[in-house]
Amino acid sequence: MDENGVENSSGFLVKRRVKRASEDRISKLPDSIIVHILSFLPTPDVVPTCLLSKRWKLMWYSVPKLYLSDNDWSPEKFFNYVDSFLEHRKKGMYFIVDSVITSFQLHMDCYHTSKATRLDKWLTFAVENKVKEIHLNLNFCDEGGYYCIPKLVVNSKDLVILELVGLTLKTCYSVRLPALKTLSLTYVYFEENDAICNFLWGCPSLEKLLLSSCDLIEIGDVLRLQSISLKFMKIEYEDCVLYTVLPIQVEAINLECLELERPIFESSNLSTCKAIRNLSLDFCGLPMKDEDPSSLEYLISNLPLLEILTLKNSHILKLEHIKISNQRLRSLNLKNRWYTKDDYEMNVIIESAPQLVSFCYEGNINFSISTESSNLLNGKFIILPQHDNYDANWFTSLMNFLLNLNCSWNIVTLHVMSDKVIILPKKFKRMCQSPLLNWKHLSVITDQKPERESDLEDVLIWISLSLETLSINGKIIF
């Protein structure tokens, strides 16, 4: 034994292990990686973290992303902190070579209009340092109105991403954002007519536009959006009571993906958007009404490059029959997530879609689909829970639902809450003939672990005697 009472060989191993455990492996990383790790922390946490090591002492000057939030701060203390931090950061740029700012993110739950001048100063600092991203989220606490971003911000030649929440856009000065790729506006108030249209004209490189719950009342009868460069656009409303839903006129010849919430077909115009490949329409929040399906069918059939179509909550329009016709369509998705007692049967007729290979349905079982095409489809059916008691009436409806899936299926996936949705009562099973479905490949997914997996297997085989493969929750049965 040595002087520590440990055999030399064992003691050597113990010392090596202790030494390895005490090593500071993070400090051995390159400066660039450490700075990258620090960029994920809120800015007030970066400086204290850098004090943990002498080597890190000045690294906070090099963190390119600033994230400032007034959570857990008093308003005055927060403003004083940001003023002081940015002043120190400005001084550091004179002696730190790589002290650049690429992202400026500010979240305030307690904004007061009396502080607008100081907020202007912060944004000016960011823009003058060629920031590429600005994320500004404001919740005002007084009745002074919304904050209006300074002219310097909307004339930045370096800005690539601009996300604004809770402020005003004016047209009192021109917009020149030549490098802007992404524009996201949420709870933004447009003070003057054509404010958003003028904004888009000043963004010649814009590719992605998101409008969420913006106040469009003063714009007019139609929301007009023009852009040559735009490829993705999403318009949504969180509260239809507070925000006016307008028909839209989109002039974007390069638009590839369009997501609309509460679309109004009668006076909307997408005739120039011939490049759309992915279209998603969400009817959530519209009043229940009888609708002529021809306008929807016309829109679908007149998008020559359409490959992916998603219709959400289309049952709100009370469309008993929807005819789908599109020569390039490859994927069709119907998602009726809102269950109501007066839900009626919906029938989807695929008239002409020679490229269609995938179909997904989410909703109740008052649904049918049919097609004359011989294409093999991969089908996924997510059956929403509707009953506490799965009795004979339920299973009769379920069997009718399965029989009404009148297509040539490749792989069918059934997603249900539990095995109780599918397992038929033995008495009922003896009284009925097998549905004689011609499915070859079936996959079943249950949110709850099956209580009687063997019974579930028997029912699935009974449903389709021609099954060649069967899996339950990823487990291959055969």
If phi over 0 gives left and psi between -120 and 50 gives alpha, with beta otherwise, what is residue 32?
alpha
Residue 329 CB neighbour total at 10 angstroms: 25
The segment with the largest mean pLDDT, out of 38-42, 276-280, 351-355, 398-402, is 276-280
- The whole-number average pLDDT for the span 227-244 is 77
Confidence (pLDDT) at 19? 47
Predicted confidence (pLDDT) at residue 116 exceeds the cutoff of 50: yes
User: What is the per-residue pLDDT across 170-224, written as a single tens digit (0 to 9) for each?
Assistant: 766 788 999 999 999 998 887 666 778 888 889 999 999 998 887 655 455 777 8
Confidence (pLDDT) at 454? 82
Confidence (pLDDT) at 348? 83
List CB contacts of 143: < 8 A, sequence separation 6 or more. none
How far apart CA 31 and CA 185 sit, in angstroms, is 36
How far, CA to CA in Å, does 101 sit from each of 66, 98, 281, 456?
7, 9, 38, 59
How far apart CA 151 and CA 137 sit, in angstroms, is 18
Predicted confidence (pLDDT) at residue 263 exceeds the cutoff of 60: yes
Predicted confidence (pLDDT) at residue 356 exceeds the cutoff of 60: yes
Confidence (pLDDT) at 441? 92
Local confidence band at 320 (pLDDT 50, 70, 90 cut-offs) = low
Predicted confidence (pLDDT) at residue 316 exceeds the cutoff of 60: no
- The whole-number average pLDDT for the span 248-260 is 90
Write down the mean pLDDT value for the chain.
Answer: 81
Local confidence band at 1 (pLDDT 50, 70, 90 cut-offs) = very low
User: What is the per-residue pLDDT across 385-436, written as a single tens digit (0 to 9) for each?
Assistant: 766 677 777 887 888 888 888 888 899 999 988 888 887 766 666 666 666 6
How far apart CA 478 and CA 464 sit, in angstroms, is 14
Confidence (pLDDT) at 156? 93
How far, CA to CA in Å, does 17 sit from each of 2, 10, 20, 21?
17, 11, 5, 6
Confidence (pLDDT) at 98? 74
Confidence (pLDDT) at 67? 94
Domain spans of the chain?
A: 376-478
Range in 246-255, 267-276, 337-346 the model is least confident about: 337-346
User: What is the per-residue pLDDT across 6-63, written as a single tens digit (0 to 9) for each?
Assistant: 445 445 444 455 444 445 666 677 877 888 888 888 888 888 887 777 777 777 888 8
What percent of the chain is predicted at pLDDT more than 90? 26
List CB contacts of 317: < 8 A, sequence separation 6 or more. 283, 286, 289, 290, 291, 293, 296
Confidence (pLDDT) at 277? 95
Predicted confidence (pLDDT) at residue 384 exceeds the cutoff of 70: yes
List CB contacts of 293: < 8 A, sequence separation 6 or more. 317, 319, 321, 322, 323
